[in-house]
Amino acid sequence: MTRQHFPKKNYYKVIMTLLMIGVLFLSMGVSTIPAETVIVPNFAKEYPRAQDFQVTAEGKELPVLEGTIAAMSYAIIKGKCTVTVVRDKSFKKVVVRPLSAGIKPKIIGNKVIFSIPKAMNLSIEFDDDIKRPLFLFTSPERENVPSKDDPNVRYYEAGKIYDAREIRLYDNETLYLEPGAIVQGYVTADNVNNIRILGSGILDQSARKTLKVNSILLTECENVLIQDVQIHDAWGWTLHPRGCDNVIIDNHKQTGWRANCDGIDIEASHNVEVKNSFIRSSDDCIAIKSKQPDIVRRRGSPKVDSVLIENTVLWNAIGGNALEVGFELKGDYVQNITFRDCDVIRVERGAALSIHNAEDTTVRNVTFENVRVEDARDELIDLYIGLSIYSVDIPAKYSRRFGFNIPDSLKDPDANDNRSQWLYLPQSERSSYSKNRGQIENVIFKDIQVVSEKVIPSLIKGWDDDYSVDGVVIENLTFGGKRMRSLEEAKIAIENATNTVIK
């Protein structure tokens, strides 16, 4: 075969073309050096590290902090990356949740390798051990990083642990927790506008031993953005906007294990959006409430309108429910609530999807749509109108102030895990309490997918014919991929409810 020879002038043309392309790229400000895919937060070395896990992303070692109920690893992720987890002991199986992320880990010895397409928050569980998961919390790179020289910015730098105690925010202020900052304290704001709480740092409550406190308490605030911040080891309600308007909570992470550590309690607020978040709580993960009028001064009668919860991962441990409206519901109405595209990865006790109306308001126009339930052990759906230990008109001896002390003879056997919270009176004794009961109207459950083939029960129960549950539509409810064709097949018990249909 004869070797082909190209004229030298063709080589010169190729070289000149490449040089011109390079000059063009430089003139456009395009760098030929690839940007970093992973940025590693700088946490203080003295903060406890987990000893049983090592985590790398794109070959970079990530910090793995110790927590009471999980090990926790962190990174800033730009685009797709490969994650490697090494455990200090052998295992046979690993599951990465939520399952909807479609992550298929590869096991090599005591090493797990998988890819993630973008920043996300995951629970990595070995051999079905839910007492010691590894949480991987990743955030996208942000462009809204404030300047530490701005007088309206409270800036906490990475690599340090701060004893901050109370951080009170005022109009137009920004609290920034740089990725790697650990702030031991809590945040309050009262009757202020245009505030931001930003950064992938940690608001740490683990040192708190004696006094419950809301980790973030916002009272009557407008135009609020909370983004990327993690709250660790909360004790008391964790993130609590009350009487607020226009609140966005984005890529927020929580790890709580103590009693009464509700994840996000949205109280008497309007136009609230929670998205892209991860909540592991030992009480209600997300609860919509509207308590006593004296809680919220400017609004008068408390009301809730327009709340959206979407693309959020929820792990409800012992106590409470995953996606909840209730119990405390006073005022004119609670309406236009949407839970959409969420993953309930675990409900160890309680209901996955619930409305508990224990007061006199009307709850209406609530939608649960495209919710995936991976592990629910007690109830799937629980809609209930009744007299509870949280009700204003409960006899004092049964009030929550004195614990959970309703005798077994006055507990509703239908209420499953929530039976200790309802005072179940005989029909002959109910009339004197009827005036303080409310309604539940127009509730939609659409595309609810339960991973397990085992059908867990649901309950729809009003107080009586006048204070009832009306207009519940269940469309495309599946267990293990099998669509439920009837209320009986879905094990949905009904009492004092009208116009309940399953499609």
Separation in Å, CA 436 to CA 294, 363, 392, 482: 18, 14, 9, 40
Residue for token digits 């930003």?
198
**pLDDT confidence bin for 29, thresholds 50/70/90:** very low
> Per the structure block, which two tokens stand in for 96?
């990465």
Domain 153-502: which topology? Pectate Lyase C-like (2.160.20)
pLDDT for 99? 98
Class of CATH domain 38-140:
mainly beta
Question: For 377-405, what is each residue's pLDDT tens digit?
Answer: 899 999 999 999 999 999 999 999 888 88
Q: Which residue has the higher pLDDT, 486 or 295?
A: 486
**pLDDT confidence bin for 33, thresholds 50/70/90:** very low
Q: Across residues 354-369, what is the average pLDDT?
A: 97
% residues pLDDT > 70 (the chain): 91
> Per the structure block, which two tokens stand in for 162?
């701060």
Q: CB–CB of 71/135 below 8 Å?
A: yes
pLDDT for 296? 54
pLDDT for 17? 54
> Per the structure block, which two tokens stand in for 269?
């607020």
pLDDT for 19? 52
Distance in angstroms (rounded) separating the CA atoms of residues 117 and 78: 9
Distance in angstroms (rounded) separating the CA atoms of residues 114 and 473: 39
Residue for token digits 């308590």?
291
Q: Which residues, other chains included, contact 406 with Cβ-Cβ below 8 Å and sequence gap of 6+?
A: 389, 398, 420, 421, 422, 423
**pLDDT confidence bin for 27, thresholds 50/70/90:** very low
Give me the sign of the Cα torsion angle 98, 103, 104, 110: negative
Residue for token digits 């530490």?
148
Mean residue pLDDT across the chain:
91
Q: CB–CB of 363/437 below 8 Å?
A: no
Distance, first Cα to last Cα, the chain: 73
Helix (H, G, I), strand (E, B) or coil at 154: strand
Asked if pLDDT for residue 182 goes beyond 80, the answer is yes
Asked if pLDDT for residue 85 goes beyond 50, the answer is yes
Question: For 402-451, what is each residue's pLDDT tens digit?
Answer: 888 899 999 998 888 888 999 998 888 888 999 999 999 999 999 999 99
Asked if pLDDT for residue 23 goes beyond 50, the answer is no
pLDDT for 311? 98
* 338 bridge partner residues: 308, 367
User: Residue 327, preceding bond cis, omega within 30 degrees?
Assistant: yes
Question: For 220-259, what is each residue's pLDDT tens digit?
Answer: 999 999 999 999 999 899 999 999 999 999 999 999 988 8
Domain ranges of the chain: 38-140, 153-502
Strand intervals (E) in 142-237:
153-156, 161-169, 174-177, 182-190, 193-198, 202-204, 216-219, 222-227, 230-232
Asked if pLDDT for residue 300 goes beyond 90, the answer is no
Asked if pLDDT for residue 22 goes beyond 70, the answer is no
Helix (H, G, I), strand (E, B) or coil at 261: coil
Q: Across residues 346-357, what is the average pLDDT?
A: 96
Asked if pLDDT for residue 301 goes beyond 80, the answer is no
Residue for token digits 């895919």?
37
Separation in Å, CA 129 to CA 94, 123, 315: 10, 11, 14
- Pairing, β 193-198 against β 323-329: unpaired
Question: For 117-138, what is each residue's pLDDT tens digit?
Answer: 999 999 999 999 999 999 999 9
Helix (H, G, I), strand (E, B) or coil at 124: strand
